[in-house]
Amino acid sequence: MKKLIALLCLSGSVVLAAPPPPKGKAPPADAPVAAKPAPLTPEERKKVLYALGAMVAQRTPLAQAGLDEAELTEVMAGFTDATLGKELKVAPAENMPKVDQFLKERAKVRGEQEKAKGATYLEDQAKAPGAQKTASGLIYFETQAGTGPQPTPQDTVKVHYKGTLVNGTEFDSSYKRGTPAEFPLSGVIKCWTEGVAKMKVGGKAKLVCPSEIAYGERGAGGSIPPNSVLNFEVELLSITGKDAQ
């Protein structure tokens, strides 16, 4: 957070900068030459610029600051002046402590809002048909029974999953990436360690995770606010070293 202005100015170049050429042997003379991409059309350029702006917001504290339209106008004024190399009206370095204070205050407000919203959501989910609430607060729904082995917290599992906030916003999906995730159950959030350990290979479940056994007061990146209750739809594909029977 202490490098907000620098991030705003540099994030685009960091994202788009090409990696250095690999060292070592030159490619053989008969190696195929990559086709040169066609120039961007005006419509493609508009999309690229929009995507660049979205990346700046998502990869800096802006997405979590809860800015209103007037506040965002001020942010864009500083962003524009810095990007175009104009003389800055405010010295970023001198204001960094106050920038940090501002972002912390906004994070606290948003966290309190999420906590209240999450409490109501958890109450409703616990009353839903098929809900199994555990001592940790996890609310577990089996949506498809598995027939294979059941993992322990010490196992490594392969899963497909989708994660959403209580308002339905999707923040992650292995389905969209087209590649299952594989990880040790002991190395993920407590909600996953407990919830996936209740499943059997071939099964599917919905995990409703209170923030205390998810990402808590810190949230995660720009997509999961502090104190967020999270929903995960999980499909257990396999357990490393165990055959599905």
Q: Which residues are catalytically annotated?
A: 161, 171-172, 189, 215, 232
| Cβ neighbours of residue 245 closer than 8 Å, sequence gap 6 or more | 147, 148, 149
Q: Which residue has the tokens 């609310």?
A: 139
CA–centroid distance for 203 within its chain: 25
Residue 212 Cα distances to 139, 171, 201, 243, angstroms: 13, 18, 27, 33
User: Alpha-carbon distance 207 to 230, whole Å?
Assistant: 8
Q: Return the ∠ at Cα 116 (arms to 109 and 121), rounded to 5°.
A: 140
Cβ proximity of 88 and 74 under 8 Å: no
